[in-house]
Amino acid sequence: MRVVSICSSSKANCTYIESGGKGFLVDIGCTYKALCSGLALAGRSVENINAVFITHEHSDHIGGLSVLTKQLKVPVYASEGTMNAIIGKGKAAPGADLRLVSEAENAPLNVTAHAFRTPHDSAESTDFTFYDGENKIAVCTDLGKVTDEVRGNLLGCRFVLLESNYDPQMLTRNLNYSYPLKERIRSDRGHLSNGDCAAFARELVNSGTVSILLGHLSQNNNTPELATGTTERVLAAAGATRGRDYVLDAAAVTGNGRAIAI
């Protein structure tokens, strides 16, 4: 499998994954133009997209869905709650091929897709694992805490795109964020902090994960250096060395077209 982060931040999220020549998206929070540009940098085009998986209905995950479903006639998979929210918001083009994620086993792909529930302040948030018969990978962002269900689905994955949204001190000092907003972010239905991410990354590496891409970093309350540094220190304390025992990177706000081979 190949993974390309098209964009990843609190403003827009989109990941392209490909197996056996068949590609698909997890979320489409960027514009259609940005998607085309990101795919081109990776040597791909929208013609390589065979399906779309949506985690939840927040704008940074479905902002480009309406235009995408006008341009491409591919199945869009989401949980029932998320699908109803998408339809209610009018965020899919008329006649779009909308399907419940329970039907994903019939997706026209070379992977088996599986959705699992995540605690987030949305209608029915899910994240996904994908298995090609040899390797299992996961995309897991927008969760306030690591639940047993999340843990059960991610442990043992070879690659995980994992949320590392905010640095607690930066969030506390941010004068542009109201106290209720800060509490929402820190809540069990908000986002993972760098420390929470690092603690779970230790579990992942111990279970056999060899590649971690930190995603959904807040542009106002985090930096790539803080996110990767926190995870690297926690893993080092557990005896794991970056570059030897695992690969670690932070997804860019706008991807550079670099594909991660799984």
Distance CA 156, CA 179 (A): 37
Distance CA 131, CA 112 (A): 5
Q: Which CATH superfamily hosts domain 2-254?
A: Ribonuclease Z/Hydroxyacylglutathione hydrolase-like (3.60.15.10)
Per-residue pLDDT of the chain (262 residues; tens, 9 = 90+): 999 999 999 999 999 999 999 999 999 999 999 999 999 999 999 999 999 999 999 999 999 999 999 999 999 999 999 999 999 999 999 999 999 999 987 888 999 999 999 999 999 999 999 999 999 999 999 999 999 999 999 999 999 999 999 999 999 999 999 999 999 999 999 999 999 999 999 999 999 999 999 999 999 999 999 999 999 999 999 999 999 999 999 999 998 878 888 8
Tokens of 68: 């995408």
Q: Where are the domains of the chain?
A: 2-254
Tell me, what's the pLDDT at 258?
Answer: 80
Distance CA 9, CA 26 (A): 14
pTM metric for this prediction: 0.96
- Tally Cβ neighbours within 10 Å of residue 19: 21
Tokens of 69: 């479903």
Distance CA 223, CA 247 (A): 18
Distance CA 128, CA 171 (A): 28
